[in-house]
Structure 1
Amino acid sequence: MSSAKGGTYEGFTAEEKAAMKDHARELKAASRRTSSADKAAQAERDVLAKIAEMQDSDRVMAERVHAVVTAAGPALAPKLWYGMPAYALDGKVVCFFQSAEKFKSRYATLGFSDQAKLDEGTMWATGFALTDVTAEVEARIAELVKQAVG
């Protein structure tokens, strides 16, 4: 099978396969939980545990992003999404943190789904590269989250 660029299709990368397996485990675990309060509490613990597993620089940024997102978007519920910390409104992911390590990237990413109300004209950003989370970056994340939740 050929790819669109004329090369050979090699299938999903090991990182992509791992993310899909993470997502399958997340769905299975969520379906086992009984009450909505239990689901929410366990989902937050899962997110914090995933952040704690990250390498130093990613972990520090993820901790700051988590704090800012939960403060700026109190209606958002933390949950794992393809093995990444994510924040959902009514069960639908609005934003997520992707560590640099996740897909062997040179930077971490704060991403927003199509559920985020970031629309601005005919083109707008839905992903932001993060190399450090400074006070200025925290303020920008808070603005984006508030806008995304609308």
Structure 2
Amino acid sequence: MKERAAELKKEAKHGRDKKAAAGERDVLSKIAKMEAPDRAVAERIHAIVTANAPELSPKLWYGQPAYARKGKVVCFFRSGHVDKERYSTFGFTTEANLDGDSGLWPTSYAVTGLSDEAEETISALVRKAVG
């Protein structure tokens, strides 16, 4: 019985690994199809999120790149071109641990480009969101 339990656990783990790999492929494919300005920002955000929160799994959410913990989306990128908006959005869901002491905290940002300061801000927010 113990051996079978170990097999089931291993099978479940490999299933999650395959699902995570498929999610990564889906996100990278979606990013590659974006128009140049959004693609550059989405590629950079993908690199920032995966470097600062490797425990998050890339997946598509409403057809756009997102990053989830235990299947629940923590943060996401929305293409402005796809949404026919003048800017893209990087945001957080209620799964993110961003609650502030003042009762006020950011949940999304308009993004048209990423300066070094913006990249540092996103890095810090992503680390806090998963902390």
- TM-score normalised by structure 1 residue count: 0.76
Deviation at residue 37 of structure 1 after TM alignment: 1.4
Distance 1:145 1:63 in 2: 16
Aligned length: 117
Query: Amino acid of the residue matched to residue 38 of structure 2?
Result: D
Query: For the residues of structure 1 that align with 2:61 and 2:15, how far apart are their CA atoms?
Result: 20
TM-score, normalised with respect to structure 2: 0.86
Partner of 2:50: 70
Residue 91 (structure 1) shift? 0.8
Q: Does 1:103 align with 2:83?
A: yes
SS in 2 for 1:35: helix
Q: Distance in 2 between matches of 1:38 and 1:118?
A: 30
Which residue of 55, 77, 93 maps to 2:35? Answer: 55
How far did 1:90 drift? 1.0
Cα distance in 2, alignment partners of residues 125 and 100 from structure 1: 19
Runs of 4+ in structure 1 off by over 3 angstroms are none
- Listed as ranges, the gaps of 5+ residues in structure 2 are 1-13
Q: Which runs of 5+ in 1 are unaligned?
A: 1-33
Structure having the higher helix fraction is 2
Following superposition, the deviation at residue 102 of structure 1 comes to 2.3
Residues 64-120 of structure 1 show CA distances to partners (whole Å, capped at 9, x for unaligned) of 000000001111110000001000011100000001112211101001000001111
Q: Which of 117, 127, 131 in structure 2 is aligned with 1:146?
A: 127
What is the CA–CA distance in structure 1 between the aligned matches of 2:25 and 2:86, rounded to whole Å? 27
1:39 aligns to 2:19 (yes or no): yes
Give the alignment's Cα RMSD to 1 decimal: 1.1
1:90 paired residue number? 70
| Identity score, percent | 54
